[in-house]
Structure 1
């Protein structure tokens, strides 16, 4: 009897920890979270973890295979591939986070305006459809070529490319939410439109925005690598996974490690984000939560 009383007096687990525990029960999601955390820690601690400077040249050590001295080998200029892979991850994560943040601002704003105001729905919806008619990578290449290759240009271009995805989701959800009784009640009480859009509509869109944000993060990292591979990314002096793979093309069969390790880094980082996004979608969607 005493044990039952003590168990009943224990505080219930907080909802956020319960949600996290249920999310990590899936092995695939737990794997994605672990890999993502490792990449983030490597990026943050790169100056202390990397054994060499990513730009240090050593012609004597040119094209050395992986060894105890050079874990991932060296490239055509004798630079340590392991150090360059870690530092390249910092830029990829930075681009992904910046693109998600900027595209969320653009996409959520356009989606809210199109879904809440009937007069703006048609022109904004047509703009979204027109932008989504172009393949993502081709539109990004065109924007970067027009604005000039740089880190800021890549972030802006990819944000413009991926913002319509968020805008479309937010618009569709807003069209439904604006007709709900509590929104009509808020309007009849004289509550300002801005307050209704931010407190009553936007609050109910956090889940789809969060899920879509993880997918956009992965897409942005992959697109940045593609642009760098084509020579349209950041300056060649800055290590990126795309430029490392592009440089290693000339030495396939002779120094395969130059392309293998940055390629594996791209695969693991994008895969981890996709797994986490799938888990969040299944947890936050009531229709899919029943099957978990």
Structure 2
């Protein structure tokens, strides 16, 4: 009983701090609504996202069409729900690729002194380009498609994680228990996994939320510019691009997709800020 109580106390304390952080709570609620709307789109959407109805084109928001209709009579509410699936899928894929690539490069550069200089110069070169320009160049080289957008954005945002992981690894490498593990002859992979990566979990998680938000915004930007996913797929970016021609007469074509982007990115930024404050050692001491 005593052992169970000692194990559960840190969990309860951590959960209380997590729920007590207003930024995390608000961000989680908004993100949960967006995710649920995207996941339930095939069943909850009132209309097919690509169903044309010319007689109902450019109808304002009403009880029949909650967000109105576009220039082809398609229901904007249904298209916004299905577009969320594309944005979340792309952002999740970008987070996975950028995290794997960034952690590998960061840990390698930070732990192995001989590889630090060349990897750091590579990261500096990649970060010297604006994110959106580098993503456009990669998509243009690989060809526009859903998979290439994910790959291009994953490569684009990998240096962000790599620089943070490298800096933390440089600090961890000099700690006494790491030096003791090396002196004891433990395999390098075991040291990296058990003593380095486990201690990097918190900053990686925090940075991943910011990458998620940036990737969602970048995907919308690429789609808006016409170099993202196929135009046959409803995305918030393509909805904004098609709605700009009717901005003066049918403002709802841009308002609701733009609002979806703003709320999604805002929720992830709130989560990232809240998690960063939660794992900050100085704030932990104050609490």
User: Structure 2-normalised TM-score?
Assistant: 0.96
Q: Give the match for residue 112 of structure 1.
A: 107
Give 5+ residue unaligned stretches, structure 1.
1-7
Alignment pair present for 1:32 and 2:27: yes
User: Does the alignment pair 1:42 with 2:45?
Assistant: no
Hey, what does 1:209 align to over in structure 2?
204
- Which aligned runs of 4 or more in structure 1 are off by greater than 6 angstroms? none
| Structure 2 unaligned spans of 5+ | none
* 1:204 CA displacement: 0.4
Aligned residues: 285
Secondary structure of 1:277 counterpart? helix
Q: Distance in 2 between matches of 1:51 and 1:202?
A: 46
1:158 aligns with 2:153: yes
Q: What is the root-mean-square deviation of aligned Cα atoms in Å?
A: 1.6
Aligned-pair CA distance for 1:139 = 0.6
Pairwise CA distance, 1:132: 0.5
Between the aligned partners of 1:43 and 1:196, the Cα distance in structure 2 is 41
Return the alpha-carbon distance in structure 2 between the equivalents of residues 181 and 61 of structure 1.
71
Decide which of 51, 62, 66 is 1:56's aligned counterpart: 51
Q: Deviations over 1:1-38 (max 9, x none)?
A: xxxxxxx9x94755344323212223332111100011
Which of 245, 250, 263 is equivalent to 1:250? 245
Q: Which residue matches 2:227?
A: 232
Deviation of 1:229 (Å): 0.1
SS in structure 2 at match of 1:73: coil
Distance 1:37 1:17 in 2: 22
TM-score by length of 1: 0.94
1:289 and 2:284 aligned: yes
Q: Residues 165-205 of structure 1, C-alpha deviation per residue, up to 9 Å, x if partnerless?
A: 10101111111111111111111111100110111111100
Contact 2:23 2:273 in 1 (8 A): no
Q: Distance in 1 between the 2:62 and 2:210 partners?
A: 36
Deviating more after overlay: 238-247 vs 179-188: 179-188
1:92 aligns with: 87
Structure 1 residues 83, 16: closer, same or farther in 2, change over 3 A?
farther
Cα distance in 2, alignment partners of residues 239 and 291 from structure 1: 47
Higher alpha-carbon deviation: 109-118 or 19-28: 19-28
Distance in 1 of aligned mates of 2:209 and 2:108: 23
Deviations 1:255-282 (A, max 9, x none): 1111000000000000000001101000
